[in-house]
Amino acid sequence: MDTKTMSSSPSPASASPPRLMPGRASADLKEAIVTTLRYAVGKNPEFARLHDWYAATAITLRDRLVDRWFASTDHTYRQRRKRVYYLSLEFLIGRLLTDNASNLGLLDEVKAALTAHGIDFEAVKALEPDAALGNGGLGRLAACFMESMATVGVPAYGYGIRYDFGLFRQVIRDGWQVELPEDWLAFGNPWEFERPEVAYEIGFGGHVDAEDNPDGTVSYVWQPSERVLAQAYDTPVVGWEGKTVNTLRLWAARPITPIRLDAFNRGQHVDAFAEQVRASSISRVLYPDDSTAEGQELRLRQEFFFTSASLQDLIRRHLTQYDDLTSLPEAANIQLNDTHPALSVLELTRILVDLNGFALDEAFEITKATLCYTNHTLLPEALETWSVPLFERLLPRHMQLVFEINAMHLAAVRKRPDVTLDLVRSVSLIDETHGRRVRMGNLAFIGSHKVNGVSELHGELMRETVFKDLNTLFPDRITHVTNGITMRRWLVECNPDLAHLITDAIGPQWIKDAERLKELERFATDQAFLERFARVKQGAKQRLAVFVAQRTGIRLDPEAMFDIQIKRIHEYKRQLLNILETVHLYEAMRAEPERDWTPRVKIFAGKAAASYHRAKLIIKLINDVARVVNRDPTVRDKLRVVFLPNYNVSLAEMLVPAADLSEQISTAGMEASGTGNMKFQANGAITIGTMDGANVEISRHVGLDNILIFGLTADAVRERWTNGHNPRAVIEGDGNLRQVLDAVGGGVFSPDEPGRYGPIVHDLYESDYFMVAADFADYSATQRKAASMFRRPAQWRHMSLHNTANAGWFSSDRSIREYADNIWHAPMDPG
């Protein structure tokens, strides 16, 4: 909801409709769905297809949100409450039908209403596409945070891009990842409201005019050579019990002139739409391949497009309530989710200076007091940088501001008694070492009043590594807020059997206050409860086995250990370590077929960036190993390997409840936090992982007896990087690893191309940057320990319950309360 409501609007206390008795509610919904089907979808119920029923149900639920949405907005305006603006290039929201129905307390009523019409709710639910607005943890975190902000009552807007095709739809052909368009909007999006009246011009290129003022100062006027429109689409985001509804506003790129009619009339029918094609390309695809100059330019255009539109929008909203922009920091807090929206530092400063007459130093102070930055990576190469020539050509005024802000910044640095040339070079906004590049991480840091990591370890490592010198200059700026997950999505909705068991045991209050899950610990010796707990897990595994058989034709034994690694494919996440250890297990099983092995199902899922060729080669290796293993009669009842394509939120909701073992095996010091670890933990999986990211805090909460930790620590990894690591000696000293690499490198799994995996093996011998060889032996031993423990069901169930009971602290509600209290200083009103 955007427009300020009139004074006659209902007050928050009276806006929510009264709760109906279940029978009455389902009867009302039954009638409302048919009405919507007729008058909004335009279908006669007698001839409506299943997708028509989905659209009608979604719109009916959306209508139930609108009054609460208006009331939440009106309450924020009336109380002049501080708003949080969450800027993120990704929002991986997944399907919303169950989410919204559950948060409104209408899920059972919706199911009953559809059943009364002879329609199966699960079939309707399956038709909803996953909104293709994100790639992995970054986008899913943003979605969890939006839901939690509504649940705890923080007034908030999420800002992002309405991608037509999102990331991509992953298919596997002959074991290779192939990227296809993810056309999630093919049937429209019933949850959103199009806002053609909310559109802002976004400029690119051109030049900057300098104009002399009577007082001797100089004003700068940017004259863009190209302009596009950013048009808003709003999706209501409802919190638990529907008391607060916030807004996710996504921008779609549109041309200012949709067609050059003169060209069209001259027969230039394609050229006439060139402006439309160029403009709309900005919001076509998430993360276009940036291995080309054209891809890099499009990525920068995307980031500026949504940043500028969002800032123009929130400033317009601010000025409807306040006289000027000096009060912006008291009324708004803008959270930058990674460096993608870091251009906010420059664009907000430009708006204040060029359009509102502020002096640069005052404008920058207002900007800094309004912005906060969440860092998500410790990899220096993952902190965005842009070449100065590209930046200057596309955003000439902003390039001027980079130089001006950098001059102010470095002038202050040079006044320090401990200043050195190396310090100045390190903290500069311009990297001069490999061609001049704008450092977006440094820009976000100096342009924000708080910079947070996303786990305790991450916050510490930020101070010691990527922002060490900036931390020296601004020692109070870095903090941390450990990530979290919404238990509504990742327990109540994706694992209703477990949620019902928990509610039967301790009551429903845990859904809103997740730390009450701790009360489950009193059932740790209750054998009847533990049996029920185990049956819930077994039911989830049986459902997943059916799903995998339908999707891949591979039959799984639900009695086997389900060992699952699902996340973006990246070398630091070490899917390679997992599959190499799987090869070792396979060879051991073949060598001793008579041994009483613990049956194991290895499941992988995740997408590799389109231009990340090594990650795509790892996917191919996983599929090649799966092909060999799954066809070998020697291990048929003992080992299965599965790669499930097109990983998304809905697939995760199927996999997470079924996991026995959760693979969180990143190179220590490289994973900022992780949230998959939290989802698996809440659903009773045992974590096998390194002391990295939030694994550190999970181990503290569950105790080292209830988690399987292995491998080098972050300090040990850095010591090897600094003082030298000899992977060849490690491999030659480990007969198991050497045998695995001989098989992989020798073509055992790629007889059609024996040298296919030679580059992987070569890099492990010569570099092993991600410490795969270094951690292999300990990982393998820990896997054997996990297999042994799994064969003792009583112990495994106790560990599993202990993990679920201690998952409550990892709720995103807790994360948002920490942000609100310690960073945003924003109000909370959970109702």
Nearest C-alpha neighbor of 582 from the set 624, 610, 553, 549:
624
- Please pick, among 125, 140, 679, 725, the residue that the annotation labels catalytic: 679
773: CB partners within 8 A, 6+ apart: 727, 730, 731, 734, 737, 764, 765
Question: Active-site residue 568, yes or no?
Answer: yes
The residue whose two tokens read 């039908």 is: 97
- Biggest CA–CA distance in the chain, Å, is 93
The DSSP secondary-structure symbol of 259 reads -
CB atoms within 10 A of CB 789: 17
Catalytic residue among 60, 73, 307, 675: 675
Picking from 776, 770, 89, the residue whose alpha carbon sits closest to that of residue 379 is 770
Tokens describing residue 403: 């130089």
Burial string for 808-820 (b: 16+ CB within 10 Å, else e) reads bbbbbbbbbbbbb
Angstrom distance (rounded) from CA 504 to CA 499: 9
Residue 95 carries which side chain, given as an amino acid letter? R
Instruction: Report the alpha-carbon angle 479-485-488, nearest 5.
Output: 145
| Count of all residues that appear for the chain in the document | 831
Distance (Å, rounded) from C-alpha 578 to C-alpha 571?
11
Q: Encode burial over 58-88: b for 16+ CB neighbours within 10 A, e otherwise.
A: bbbbbebbebbbbbbbbbbbeeebbbbbbbb
Give me the catalytic one of 243, 368, 449, 573: 573
Whether 602 is a known active-site residue: answer: no
Q: What is the number of other CB atoms lying within 10 angstroms of the CB of residue 737?
A: 23
Rounded CA gap, 71 and 73, in Å?
A: 5
Q: Which of 43, 243, 376, 409 is catalytic?
A: 376
Show Cβ contacts of residue 639 under 8 Å, excluding neighbours closer than 6 positions: 582, 585, 586, 589, 597, 599, 600, 601, 602, 629
Strand order in the sheet with 385-387: 385-387, 437-439, 430-431
Q: Backbone phi, then psi, for 605, in 5-degree steps?
A: -160, 145
Say whether 525 is catalytic.
Answer: no
Q: Is 706 helix (H, G, I), strand (E, B) or coil?
A: helix
Give yes or no for a contact between 609 and 654, defined as CB atoms under 8 angstroms apart: no
Distances (CA, A) of 351 to 309, 391, 791: 12, 18, 64
Question: Comparing C-alpha atoms, which of 612, 529, 448 is closest to residue 802?
Answer: 529
Q: Which of 317, 567, 584, 797 is catalytic?
A: 567
Inter-residue contact 217 to 191 (CB < 8 Å): no
In the block, which residue shows the tokens 């639920």? 61
Number of helices (H), then strands (E), in the chain:
34, 22
Among 327, 306, 323, which Cα is nearest to 86's? 306
Burial code of 603-614, b = ≥16 C-beta within 10 A, e = fewer? Answer: bbbbbbbbebee
777, 734 Cβ separation under 8 angstroms: yes
Q: Which residues pair with 159 in a beta bridge?
A: 87, 249
Nearest in space to 346 (alpha carbons), one of 405, 270, 265? 405
Contacts of 279 (CB under 8 A, 6+ apart): 228, 229, 253, 254, 255, 256
Question: Which residue, among 28, 246, 291, has the nearest Cα to 149 in the 3D structure?
Answer: 246
Among 568, 797, 802, 814, the active-site one is: 568
Cα 249 to Cα 287, 303, 413, 484, 568, distances in angstroms: 19, 15, 39, 22, 26
234: tokens are: 């709003």
Nearest residue to 131 via CA among 630, 567, 650? 650
d(CA 625, CA 263): 56
State the residue for tokens 């491999």: 731
* 573: annotated active-site residue: yes
Phi, psi of 428 (to 5 degrees): -65, 150
Which residues are part of the catalytic machinery?
Answer: 376, 567-568, 573, 675, 679
